[in-house]
Chains A and B, each alone.
Chain A
Amino acid sequence: DAKTTQPPSMDCAEGRAANLPCNHSTISGNEYVYWYRQIHSQGPQYIIHGLKNNETNEMASLIITEDRKSSTLILPHATLRDTAVYYCIVRVVDSSYKLIFGSGTRLLVRP
């Protein structure tokens, strides 16, 4: 599975959008981009995933560049409860079940 690169930390103000970038320049055509987050003292929580089209659900939006070499997770109106470590993972569906977690981005939402 391809490697991802994320900034170690970010912060944003409560109520504003949080935009978390991820680089995956070696991604293959059959690899999906997954996002999970881990709030302190809890297990990771699935947020969203996509292949090449932008995706949106009740938690977030995922924007994938046309060349698929990078993506951005958008939390449209960040709250204090969104403070967590956010992991961007690429995964070959149908053949790889081992999610490889990197270091992630520690997001701090400021009041």
Chain B
Amino acid sequence: GAGVSQSPSNKVTEKGKDVELRCDPISGHTALYWYRQSLGQGLEFLIYFQGNSAPDKSGLPSDRFSAERTGGSVSTLTIQRTQQEDSAVYLCASSPTLNSPLHFGNGTRLTVT
């Protein structure tokens, strides 16, 4: 079946611009996660959605970052006034329940020039 889909796969933007990254989780998965991976680094947790509960935003690095999940399905990660240090691969994952393994998309590579 279809896996987690992220778009765009690559995004180049100028410093100061806003960007939106999209994640389509696997159908029926109630949990959705965003992670960030800088070049040569491990994964950094950003935000977690579970059903209709309030999201855990504790990993968002600044107030320029926000995310929403509409209808319990598609999620959008928004970065306002992008900075060069925001350049990274942004990965989305979903899982059917809290205890299930995560299924990751292939990420969006963001480059801020």
Count A/B pairs, Cβ under 8 Å: 46
B31 CB, nearest partner CB in chain A, Å: 7
Which of A43, A93, A102 makes the CB contact (< 8 A) with B42?
A102
Check A34 against B101 for contact (C-beta < 8 Å).
Answer: yes
- A selection of 17 A-B contacts at a CB cut-off of 8 Å is A34-B101, A41-B106, A43-B4, A43-B104, A43-B107, A44-B91, A44-B93, A44-B102, A94-B98, A94-B99, A97-B98, A98-B45, A99-B43, A99-B102, A101-B42, A101-B43, A102-B42
* CB neighbours of A100 from chain B (8 A): 45
A residues contacting B by CB (< 8 A) are: 34, 36, 41-46, 49, 87, 93-94, 97-104
Q: Does B25 contact A (CB under 8 A)?
A: no
Within 8 A of A (CB), among B52-109: 56, 59, 91, 93, 98-99, 101-107
Q: In the complex, which residues of chain A have a beta carbon less than 8 angstroms from the beta carbon of B105?
A: 43
- State the majority secondary structure of interface residues on A: loop
Q: Quick one: closest A residue to B91, CB to CB?
A: A43
Given A43-B93, A43-B104, A43-B105, 11 new contacts (CB under 8 A): A41-B106, A43-B106, A44-B102, A46-B102, A49-B101, A94-B99, A97-B48, A97-B50, A97-B56, A99-B45, A101-B35
Interface size on B, residues (CB 8 A): 22
Chain A: CB-nearest residue to B103? A46
Q: How far apart are the CA atoms of A100 and B91 in the complex, in Å?
A: 14
Q: Which residues of A contact B101 (CB under 8 A)?
A: 34, 46, 49
Given contacts A42-B106, A43-B93, A98-B48, contact A104 B98 (CB under 8 A): no
Q: How far is the CB of B107 from chain A (nearest CB, A)?
A: 6
Residues of chain A lying within 8 A (CB to CB) of residue B91:
43-44
List of A residues within 8 angstroms of B56 by Cβ: 97-98
Which residues of A have CB within 8 Å of B59?
A: 98
